[in-house]
Structure 1
């Protein structure tokens, strides 16, 4: 989903058809911006707000990462007005003679940093680097691109520990007030950029990047929310679509409510697959229960107990019910995380919630020193600028029966999460994005059957929405969020041949 699993982290809303009010214009200033020369230099280490860590390591063969800033209009409806600085990162093609151009990446969120994301996945894309400069960026409002700022670290600790599934009038008031305080802090600390961080502007930024980087067409690899961003780009600039891959597809037809319901079903499906694996392993599984239903009841009971009384977490922090749900969700993104989920649930049942809390911290962008990056702040800002929906507490509560039916485990939390934008100071722009791209070059659209965050059904809807002859549907049978980075040889071969050789795969291809 556009918000991925962060919908359970209190503030998420599903991005969902308008131009956002920011239309481009052909002025002297826009031509000046398109002609700007980027000053590439060695990349510095990311700050705490950007996720922390060290500067990216050299690539195979000693190639170095380069970073630069690009100026873009703050408001594309006022191209002669203020500008915003957008941060880019690049690794040059290893075979300059065979170079096709730049391949631009967005790794999702919304709110994910391309500056930190691309180097972390560099090994997965090394083969693509033979013919492309690998390029990514922090979208406006994210990381180095004048990142949205909301509450400080101490306030965020309290915010994410908050009961996100209120049981009575007092808890509903507390929840509503917390959302209001968060939104107020975002407005106070984020300045003039807050109304302009939506997906339509990010798509226009990508077209400016294309031009500044010297490419006639945009070659693009979008994952999760990055598929929505890619679809919006294709709608705005169909004649400039080059070789485009959309992996882990957001359903472009879904409203906020429909998207949240789909996510509830998706995470419920993923948990069922996890529990089924546990049952098959018999006594080797640490969790009580001989059936999927019994394991689910164990987790429901554990969460109810945590609602009444949190358990020991990390340091002085306890594991609350909301943080436990976040930890479970984080573990369902990939089958590789299932052992941590099993261990974390077993330990929490015994009164030790450190592992589930650490998983929740990872989802929320908190490091071991207690510093939060701006992932969730940017996620909230982008979703709330995109999405028109503003649910009151009464409206969200009325939806709970449907959400509980969709997911006994996650429905309550995703139902209340509909309120995520209820207090936001900036109005939304669409009910769902317009991705119609008649006349665009073929776009490869990959869906994973067991994807919890962007359920498989959205793949076909993206293909249909792009228009006849544009979307090329590929299915990966697996349990993870995103197919290409899972390493499946079939998916890799299909994508690599398309991006490197221009060979469009047969529609309906199934991997493995």
Structure 2
């Protein structure tokens, strides 16, 4: 499932495989000095995911009866000290289903976040990629800091419940101070629990892990499919290793030219657009819309509900109450995909009657909380990677100065997206840069797909990524649709274009549009 917008870009959640339980992930003194490119992966049946990966059952067999296989790859904890301690990177694969003579190599997926586990994400969406599996081993992984790949830990489940249910859009000085203090406490807990790991979860290091992965998997080029934050990771990889780029696809594209502030403002616009589209769709229903008779009434009633919840929460999933912040998360979750709009309507209708359970369930899915009350490490990993990547450290004063601009682009979500900018204040590790460098002169063509109705990674980011990659690298493909991403949207046009590129090497014409 997608991540909340407080976490830089949306993604698809998942879960990982068994590694060591040391603070740095899997420190291994015996591996010091070893040429890690020579390591042999030991593929075995995948275990059930751990709590940090979201819990649940081991992945079911594939439709043809083949089983998912998991392994652990050693990589340096610190790429500046490649002969030092190592950590384990959790991998999963489904071997190619077609004739081995037609096999191209391994197609590596990253489902975004940052913070999403590819070890659970890939099985969850395997049906979408069945055709690609005819010529590729499908491979994904838990990036460093995620799941069992040296997963970052911060507060316990009780602490996260309290953190997420608090007022995230303060209305006075006292509420501002409380939000600032809780953010500081959360960040201090991350330093206490994962201080050794925090300096080493930057996207540049994850990209170096991917190049090691490419070599260990036996490929001369990296074949790659990145979604949401996975497009940023792919762009950073292309910058660092342009000659190693094989066929690559970026879907639901992060704008690499934006600062965190600009990215948050862009998401405010994107989610407002999605809300506008939902409101029009609901109001147009022949059977009627229980939220409102017109699009404007739908939006007005949602705003009124959130305002009422600010002072008077309603019962949610026992024993928790639905607060304004949790209700907002539930609404945002539903706006990630048009397929969830019907649940948003149902959840809002129930909330008007005093039942906040469905909106809370949507928010729980967004935040990585399972039915047992435990959280994956989705939120800690996301915050840790974002804060390690980006230099800006915004203050309460910065946010209050920017609130009018955010409210102008999104009356409903502006405050939420603005206040989330203080997440990295007082973080223990300095950020690496203002923006990621994705320039990749000399790289092979990369297909970059923008969705005109994407709320979390707005459409304009695709064009910005194409420009930043450099002339002759990015090939833009537009999908006129709704939701986060395009390949899994049901568009045959998008799927046919991507499949032809990845399977046959037929690059789509730049500027192609899929209705």
Q: CA-to-partner distance for each residue in 1:237-293, whole Å, 9 max, x for gaps?
A: 000000000000000001111000000000000000000111212651111242x22
- The CA deviation at 1:191 is 3.8
2:442 aligns with 439
Match of 1:218 among 212, 219, 222: 222
Match of 2:267 among 257, 263, 270: 263
Q: Is the 8 A contact 2:9 2:113 kept in 1?
A: no
1:386 aligns with 389
CA separation of 1:392 and 1:210: change in aligned 2, threshold 3 A: same
2:26 aligns with none
1:310 aligns with 313
**Following the alignment from structure 1 to structure 2, what is the Cα–Cα distance between the partners of residues 352 and 64?**
41
2:288 aligns with 284
**What is the SS of the residue equivalent to 1:478?**
strand
CA separation of 1:14 and 1:396: change in aligned 2, threshold 3 A: farther
**What is the SS of the residue equivalent to 2:89?**
strand
2:490 aligns with 487
Q: Is the 8 A contact 2:34 2:83 kept in 1?
A: no
**What is the SS of the residue equivalent to 1:449?**
strand
1:195 aligns with 199
- The CA deviation at 1:7 is 2.9
1:373 aligns with 376
CA separation of 1:368 and 1:97: change in aligned 2, threshold 3 A: same
Q: CA-to-partner distance for each residue in 1:414-439, whole Å, 9 max, x for gaps?
A: 11111011121111111111100011
2:5 aligns with 7
Q: Is the 8 A contact 2:3 2:9 kept in 1?
A: no
CA separation of 1:411 and 1:381: change in aligned 2, threshold 3 A: same
**What is the SS of the residue equivalent to 2:351?**
helix
2:241 aligns with 237
1:179 aligns with 183
Question: How do 1:100-119 and structure 2 match up within 5 A?
Answer: 100-119=104-123
- The CA deviation at 1:31 is 6.9
Confirm or deny that 1:364 pairs with 2:367.
yes
Confirm or deny that 1:154 pairs with 2:155.
no
Question: How do 1:414-433 and structure 2 match up within 5 A?
Answer: 414-433=417-436
- The CA deviation at 1:14 is 6.7
Which 4+ stretches in 1 moved above 3 angstroms? 12-15, 28-31
- The CA deviation at 1:189 is 1.0
CA separation of 1:34 and 1:142: change in aligned 2, threshold 3 A: same
**Following the alignment from structure 1 to structure 2, what is the Cα–Cα distance between the partners of residues 79 and 242?**
25
**Following the alignment from structure 1 to structure 2, what is the Cα–Cα distance between the partners of residues 4 and 264?**
16
**Following the alignment from structure 2 to structure 1, what is the Cα–Cα distance between the partners of residues 372 and 150?**
23
Q: Is the 8 A contact 1:286 1:346 kept in 2?
A: yes
Q: CA-to-partner distance for each residue in 1:452-480, whole Å, 9 max, x for gaps?
A: 00000001000011001100000111111
**What is the SS of the residue equivalent to 2:168?**
coil
Q: Is the 8 A contact 1:289 1:298 kept in 2?
A: no
Q: Is the 8 A contact 1:14 1:255 kept in 2?
A: no
Confirm or deny that 1:334 pairs with 2:337.
yes
CA separation of 1:247 and 1:374: change in aligned 2, threshold 3 A: same
**What is the SS of the residue equivalent to 2:255?**
coil
**Following the alignment from structure 2 to structure 1, what is the Cα–Cα distance between the partners of residues 9 and 493?**
31
Q: Which structure has the higher relative contact order (CA within 8 Å, separation 6+)?
A: 1
Question: How do 1:82-161 and structure 2 match up within 5 A?
Answer: 82-95=85-98, 96-161=100-165
**What is the SS of the residue equivalent to 1:302?**
helix
- The CA deviation at 1:60 is 2.3
Q: Is the 8 A contact 2:283 2:292 kept in 1?
A: no
Root-mean-square deviation (CA, aligned residues, Å) is 1.5
- The CA deviation at 1:146 is 1.4
CA separation of 1:282 and 1:64: change in aligned 2, threshold 3 A: closer
Question: How do 1:338-349 and structure 2 match up within 5 A?
Answer: 338-349=341-352
Match of 2:73 among 70, 73, 89: 70
Structure 2 residue ranges without an equivalent (≥5)? 11-30
**Following the alignment from structure 1 to structure 2, what is the Cα–Cα distance between the partners of residues 507 and 30?**
46
**Following the alignment from structure 1 to structure 2, what is the Cα–Cα distance between the partners of residues 100 and 353?**
49
Alignment length, in residue pairs?
A: 494
1:457 aligns with 460
Q: Is the 8 A contact 1:13 1:417 kept in 2?
A: no
Match of 2:60 among 57, 61, 70: 57
Match of 1:353 among 352, 356, 360: 356
Q: Is the 8 A contact 1:13 1:384 kept in 2?
A: no
1:21 aligns with none
**What is the SS of the residue equivalent to 1:417?**
helix
Q: Is the 8 A contact 1:331 1:337 kept in 2?
A: yes
**What is the SS of the residue equivalent to 1:85?**
strand
- The CA deviation at 1:30 is 7.4
Q: Is the 8 A contact 2:9 2:254 kept in 1?
A: no
1:207 aligns with 211
Q: CA-to-partner distance for each residue in 1:43-93, whole Å, 9 max, x for gaps?
A: 100012111111111112211111111111111111111111110011111
Q: Is the 8 A contact 1:14 1:256 kept in 2?
A: no
Structure 1 residue ranges without an equivalent (≥5)? 16-27
**What is the SS of the residue equivalent to 2:72?**
strand
**Following the alignment from structure 2 to structure 1, what is the Cα–Cα distance between the partners of residues 490 and 73?**
33
- The CA deviation at 1:118 is 0.4
Q: Is the 8 A contact 1:234 1:440 kept in 2?
A: yes
Confirm or deny that 1:395 pairs with 2:398.
yes
**What is the SS of the residue equivalent to 1:60?**
coil
Q: CA-to-partner distance for each residue in 1:113-137, whole Å, 9 max, x for gaps?
A: 0010001111111111111010000
**Following the alignment from structure 2 to structure 1, what is the Cα–Cα distance between the partners of residues 284 and 162?**
39
